[in-house]
Amino acid sequence: MEQFKIKLSEEDFVTYYLFKASRSKSTRTKRVRNWLVISGLFFAIGSLFYQTDNDLYGYTFCFFGLLTFILYPFYDKQQYRRYYLNYIRENFGNRIDKESTLAINSDQIQISSIGYQGRIEVTEIEKINETFSHIFMELKSGDTLIIPKKIDEYQKLNDKLEMVAMEKGISWNKDLKWKGTG
């Protein structure tokens, strides 16, 4: 059984939550709806002022509508990042920067760290998502195992996971262009 040392940082957790949110249809719909409603309100108020011969206010609100339409997505990404960072600090603070050992064979994955030891049957892996910087193993229970690619012996770990995934018929989704932007 091969063993690999893993240490998860806050950024690893944030990247996972941003990846998960970017794959959620309801989250994407909510973000687009908020963006369009806020921008639309500025345009609507601007057009009301313009129709009542308050051109200066009309142009001002339309300008802010345009500015919101262009800049809101950047603001929204930062808000999500900040929200997830606070959530992670509150709920996973004791797991950040703690070294864990991951041992893999063809039947199970063993995880151990200070005060914790667990086993995951390989048949419990629903799918594996690979991004530019991480591998996310989604389990049938809803949990996810986060593996950063910056670890020592990453290529050896990746080869082992690919072999196990192929043997057990686990889907492996590669989205190497996704870089954590939400």
Q: What is the pLDDT of residues 40-72, one digit of tens each?
A: 999 999 999 989 988 899 999 999 999 999 999
Cross-strand partners of 137 = 128, 145
Provide, for the chain, the percentages of residues in helix, strand and coil under a 3-state DSSP scheme, each rounded to the nearest 5: 55, 25, 20
Residue 153, pLDDT above cutoff 90: no
pLDDT, tens digit, for every residue of 100-138? 999 988 888 999 988 788 899 999 999 999 999 999 999
For the residues of 147-159, what is the DSSP string, one character each? EETTSTTHHHHHH
Residue 182, pLDDT above cutoff 80: no
Predicted local distance difference test score (pLDDT) of residue 15: 93
Predicted local distance difference test score (pLDDT) of residue 115: 78
Rounded to a whole number of angstroms, the CA Rg of the chain reads: 22
Q: What is the pTM for the complete model shown?
A: 0.83
Give the burial class of 84: count Cβ atoms within 10 A of its Cβ; 0-12 exposed, 13-18 middle, 19 or more buried: buried
The torsion angles phi and psi of 132, rounded to 5 degrees, stand at -60, -35
The torsion angles phi and psi of 6, rounded to 5 degrees, stand at -130, 135
Mean pLDDT, all residues of the chain:
90
d(Cα 26, Cα 163) in Å, to the nearest integer?
34
Select the CATH number that applies to the domain covering 2-8+97-175 from these four: 2.120.10.70, 2.30.29.30, 3.40.50.300, 3.30.420.40: 2.30.29.30
Q: Where in the chain is the domain with CATH 2.30.29.30?
A: 2-8+97-175
Residues 133 and 179 sit within 8 Å (Cβ to Cβ): yes
State CA 114 to chain mean position distance: 26
CB contact set of 121 (below 8 Å; sequence gap of 6+): 107, 108
CA atoms within 13 A on the CB side of 149: 15
Please identify which residue in the block is written with the tokens 């390989």. Answer: 122
